Structure 1
Amino acid sequence: MPEYTILVVVSLVAVVLLELAWLRTGIFRRLSYWLSMLIVLGFQIPVDGWLTKLSDPIVLYDDAMTTGIRFPWDIPVEDFGFGAAMITLTMILWLHAATTDREDRRPPE
C-alpha cells in the first residue's frame, strides 16, 4: 500500500478543507499565492532533484510506499504534494493570524 501517497492526499485535502470550511482567507483566489507556489516549485525542483536522484540519492524512498512516479530528475511526485500542503498551511495560518490580530486591535464600539 502506498502510504506516502495516501498521506499526501490526506494532507492536501485537510489543508484545502481547513481553508474553505473554517479559515476562509481567500488565498486560492489570490494571484500572489499562485506566484508564490511557482517560486517554491522553482526552488524545490533543483533541491529535491539533487536529494532524490537515483544515481546517488541522499534521501531514500521505499518504492512500495509511493506511486513510483518520479518526475523530473527522479523526484517522487508525492514530494510536490507535501510541499504544497506545507506551504499553503503556513500561508493560510499566517493570513488568519494577521486578520485576527487586526480585529483584536480594534477599539471597542
Structure 2
Amino acid sequence: MGYTLPAVLSVPAVVAVELLWLRTGLFRRPGYWISMVIVVAFQILVDGWLTKLSAPIVRYDPGQLTGLRFPFDIPIEDYLFGFSLVTLTLLCWLRTRKETTG
C-alpha cells in the first residue's frame, strides 16, 4: 500500500501542523469548508475523468491502493491527498500573509 499509507498519514500530519504549530484558525472558518466543498466537487469531475476504469488516463498500480473507489472509480486515497494538499497550501498562504502584514 505504497500510495495508501502516505495518503492516510498526510491528513493527521497537516491537521497537526495547523493545531500544534501554525494555529491560523483555518478549520474554524466557514469559508475554508465552503472552499473544500468546491474543491471536492471539481476533484470528482476531473479525477473521475482521469481515473475511470473504463478508459483511464491515469493508471495506478493496484497493489499500491486499497481498491476502494468512489464515485466514478476515483481512488479514496486521492481525496486524502487532495485534502492535505489544499489545506497545507492554504495554511502556508495564511502564514506567509501574516508574516508580511505584521
Task: Give the TM-score band, short-chain normalised.
Answer: over 0.9
2:49 partner letter? W
Supply the distance in 2 between the matched residues of 1:28 and 1:63 (Cα, whole angstroms): 33
Query: In the alignment, what sits opposite 1:45?
Result: 44
Note the 1:5-84 alignment, pairs <5 A.
5-84=4-83
Q: Secondary structure at the match of 2:3?
A: helix
TM-score, scaled relative to structure 1: 0.91
Number of residues paired by the alignment? 102
Structure showing greater radius of gyration is: 1
Identity of aligned residues (%): 56
Supply the distance in 1 between the matched residues of 2:41 and 2:32 (Cα, whole angstroms): 14
* Deviations 1:21-61 (CA, angstroms, capped at 9, x unpaired): 11000101110000000000111101100000000100001
User: 1:4 deviation in Å?
Assistant: 0.7
TM-score, scaled relative to structure 2: 0.97
Query: In the alignment, what sits opposite 1:106?
Result: none
User: 1:17 deviation in Å?
Assistant: 0.9
Which ranges of structure 1 fall in alignment gaps of 5 or more residues? 104-109
Supply the distance in 1 between the matched residues of 2:33 and 2:22 (Cα, whole angstroms): 18
Supply the distance in 2 between the matched residues of 1:62 and 1:91 (Cα, whole angstroms): 30
Which ranges of structure 2 fall in alignment gaps of 5 or more residues? none
- Moved segments of 4+, more than 2 Å: none
1:83 partner letter? G
